[in-house]
Amino acid sequence: MSKKLGFIVNPIAGMGGRVGLKGTDGQMILEKARQLGAVPESPRRSAIALKRIICIKENIELITYPHEMGEDEARECGFNPTVIGSIRLGRTTLHDTENAAKEMLRLGVDLLLFCGGDGTARDVYNVIGDEVASLGIPAGVKIHSAVYATSPHNAGDLAVACLEGSSSGLRLRLAEVMDIDEEAFRDNRLSARLYGYLKVPYQRRLVQSGKSGSTHEEEASIDAIASDVINNMQDDCLYIIGSGTTTRAIMEKLGLENTLLGIDAVYSKKLTGLDLNEAQLLKLTEGTRAKIVVTVIGGQGYIFGRGNQQISAKVIEKVGKENIIVIATQNKILSLKGNPLLVDTGEDKVNQMLGGYIKVISGFNERIMLKVAT
């Protein structure tokens, strides 16, 4: 039975970048981009990826949306795609992306390959969640989401490995869908949030030598971090557990219910609150020692203010800097490329307080010194 590959192109992704606009969410901006002479990046980039998939053309069914949303690129690259749905040429919106994803989910695609930026990932996420494997071909101006391959040709190679199913070391993982508020971004204010997680394939790169070692197994690292945190947990202390897969591992190791995107709390290794807001957190910390466990969210290195705004400046101030535990896998730390950790609590004073070096827990009995920028 041949595998089904869903393929969606956001035809306008990446238009803003070269003309100095920060993203193309919204018709007005799009028009402005066109006036400035912007050309979309997505056709070219998605074609690079498709060309790497052509070698397994005979073994897959490529399902795509009409014209500029995938059909054109697919035909140009030599595919004979199954085209579904309909669009208004040159007038596609995020609803088209969502409809396409919905239809492909229904048709049971094995992998949904989409080309765009953070906005596109969000649209896809809104429809498919982590029900089916998906992967982004990077073309957008803003790429903060971890669901995109490092380059279009890598996206193609990963898709081939995923569909062939025989490749060594191919794994699926939950990767973050991040997006920033584009309006704030254009005003030079940065405010991103974690929307959720898509299930994306990635290639483990095994180096078979007694010398070189291999890359970290992400799950093993996360598990080791959770063991370390639990090993050092004190009984008479409230633990506020931030959002994300790294912190979730602590809850799962303790056998506790938890929310992936929300803030939960633990006391004496028992659950005391799920999906808490600021007010609830302030109340819970009343009259008790508390610690905050957070991980690094998104590619930019935020530990506060992105995806965990519930842990507000007030909460942080109350808990105190010395009671903040930052956890992150080595891979995540490396993805910062040497940049410091960031905080955006909304309060300068608290941001300042959080500055300086911090020992980030990166494994069992393992710490990495990282700087928190002020």
- Name the residues that contact another protein, by CB under 8 A: 52, 151, 153-154, 157, 167-169, 205-217, 220-221, 224, 330-331, 333-334, 338, 356-357, 359, 362-371
Instruction: Please report how close the Cβ of residue 185 comes to another protein at its closest, in angstroms.
Output: 26
Looking at beta carbons only, is 154 or 245 nearer to another protein? 154
Q: Which is nearer to another protein, 39 or 206 (CB)?
A: 206
CA 178 from centre of chain? 5
**Residue nearer to another protein on the CB measure, 74 or 360:** 360
Distance in Å, CB of 285 to another protein, minimum:
27
For residue 203, the minimal CB distance to another protein (Å) is: 10
In this complex, which beta carbon is closest to another protein, that of residue 143 or of residue 238?
143
Contact in structure between 24 and 141 (CB atoms under 8 Å):
yes
Q: How far is the CB of 170 from another protein (least distance, A)?
A: 9
Give min distance, CB of 368 to another protein, in A.
5
Output the smallest distance, CB 110 to another protein, in A. Answer: 19
Find the shortest distance in angstroms from Cβ 349 to another protein. 21
Query: Three-state SS across the chain?
Result: CCEEEEEEECCCCCHHHHCCCCCCCCHHHHHHHHHCCCCCCHHHHHHHHHHHHHHHHHHEEEEEECHHHEHHHHHHCCCCCEECCCCCCCCCCHHHHHHHHHHHHHHCCCEEEEEECHHHHHHHHHHHCCCCEEEEEECCCCCCCCCECCCHHHHHHHHHHHHHCCCCCEEEEEEEEEEECHHHHHCCCCCEEEEEEEEEEEECCCCCCCCCCCCCCHHHHHHHHHHHHHHCCCCCCEEEECCCHHHHHHHHHCCCCCCCCCCEEEECCEEEECCCCHHHHHHHCCCCCEEEEEECECCCCEEECCCCCCCCHHHHHHHCHHHEEEECCHHHHHCCCCCCEEECCCCHHHHHHHCEEEEEEEECCEEEEEEECC
Q: Find the helix packing angle between 94-107 and 118-128, rounded to 10°.
A: 40
Choose between 75 and 371: whose C-beta lies nearer to another protein: 371
Which residue, 27 or 232, has its beta carbon nearer to another protein?
Answer: 232
Alpha-carbon distance of 364 to 228, in angstroms, equals 5
- Nearest-approach distance from CB 143 to another protein, in angstroms: 15
CB nearer to another protein: give 203 or 280.
Answer: 203
Cβ distance 146 to 19 under 8 Å? no
- Two structure tokens written together for 286: 């009343």
For the four alpha carbons of 304, 306, 312 and 313, in that order, the dihedral sign comes to positive
Which residue lies nearer to another protein by CB, 91 or 337? 337
Least distance in angstroms from the C-beta of 227 to another protein: 10
User: Which CB sits closer to another protein, 78 or 90?
Assistant: 78
Quick one: 91 or 211, whose CB is closer to another protein?
211
Q: Tell me the backbone φ, ψ of residue 358, rounded to 5 degrees.
A: -140, 145
Question: Least separation, in Å, of the C-beta of 372 and another protein?
Answer: 11
